[in-house]
Amino acid sequence: AQSVAQPEDQVNVAEGNPLTVKCTYSVSGNPYLFWYVQYPNRGLQFLLKYITGDNLVKGSYGFEAEFNKSQTSFHLKKPSALVSDSALYFCAVRDRMDSSYKLIFGSGTRLLVRP
């Protein structure tokens, strides 16, 4: 079955330190990979996506993610965290062969950046 795992319910980092939010997936073939962020009382905002090509993808707000095919991972990273980055982060994948264009989401990771 297709699935996405975000192994950490919460990640705590100090402002200015690097952050990593982990994501691994189990999808047949070569999926498309996405990261979304959800701020309190807001919808999901698109951060970045991996389709093909360079394994390091750069997105909004200074975030980047690294696609690792052998480890089936797509970890979200940022070199220097801001307090305003505190939010709920979702990893999602889409099976290239799925005609429904459905996104399969992980359970989410809450990022808390302390001043």
Partner 1 sequence: EAQVTQNPRYLITVTGKKLTVTCSQNMNHEYMSWYRQDPGLGLRQIYYSMNVEVTDKGDVPEGYKVSRKEKRNFPLILESPSPNQTSLYFCASSRPGLAASTDTQYFGPGTRLTVL
Which spans of this chain sit near partner 1 (rule: CB under 8 A)? 4, 32, 34, 36, 41-46, 49, 51, 90, 92, 94, 96, 100-103, 105-108
Beta-ladder partners of 65: 57, 76
Pairing of strands 109-114, 10-14: parallel
Nearer of residues 28 and 80 to partner 1, judged by Cβ: 28
Give the 3-state secondary structure of residue 97: coil
Give the 3-state secondary structure of residue 85: helix
Nearer of residues 32 and 75 to partner 1, judged by Cβ: 32
Nearer of residues 102 and 114 to partner 1, judged by Cβ: 102
Nearer of residues 60 and 84 to partner 1, judged by Cβ: 60
Pairwise CA distance, residues 107 & 70, whole Å: 22
Max Cα distance, the chain (Å) = 45
Pairwise CA distance, residues 112 & 109, whole Å: 10
